[in-house]
Amino acid sequence: MSSKKDKGGKGKVEPVAEVAAVSGDANKVIELESQVKELKVALRKAEETLAARDHEMEMMRAETASSREKVADALRNSARRIAQVALLEATLEEQRRKEEMLEVELHKHSQMMDSVMNYRDKETSREYHEILRENAELSEKCARWKQRAEMLQQERWEFVRKWKKERVEAIESNMEAADLKLNQKLNKALDSDGEEREDSDEEVAEEHTEDAGADDDGW
């Protein structure tokens, strides 16, 4: 009887180990879900950064267009002034020197504006290409983050499926073990009951035999 109780005790330890293994898988699933959430937050921040960079590019384009329009206006004004100087030169000889000085000044101003615009165009082009490069890098990072998030999500699904399957198998195994133990107990009880009945029948038969012998002696 004591050896059978020890076997029953060992049977109770096995489900505890299985539950511990299932709990470890559940913790791993929770960790993967946390990583997926962090990747989603990083992805959302990257998308917001891309939107801000696009807005900056639009502002710079508008500023460049405005600067070019101002230069065009300045050039048109310069041409108009040169024409006025030419007309004044024909009628006002004494104003020729002033007109020449004005023309030289306008020429210098035009050169300065051209230099400023060339520098501004170069800087704008450099900044524009820099933004394009950064946007390309961010797009590549976003693609990697999306791929990583999908991989983690797939791993999480796989772990959940595996965990559920192992849990169902453990439950079924425990149920089968419990059914087996119950059947063994029932069979044992039936066997012991049958033995008790056989002993009782033998005792009754012996009593009948003794009674019959006593009757024979009386005769």
The yes or no reply on domain 2-214 and CATH 1.10.287 is: yes
Nearest to 46 by CA among 165, 116, 134, 108: 134
Q: 106, 31 in Cβ contact below 8 A?
A: no
Q: What is the pLDDT of residues 166-202, one digit of tens each?
A: 888 888 887 877 777 777 777 777 767 656 555 555 5
CB atoms within 10 A of CB 11: 14
Q: Which pLDDT belongs to residue 217? A: 46
Q: 60, 125 in Cβ contact below 8 A?
A: no
Q: Cα(32)–Cα(38) distance, rounded to whole angstroms? A: 10
Mean pLDDT across 121-149: 90
Within the chain, residue ranges assigned H as helices are 2-91, 96-218
pLDDT at 12 over 50: no
pLDDT at 143 over 70: yes
Q: 96, 89 in Cβ contact below 8 A?
A: yes
In the chain, the amino acid numbered 14 is E
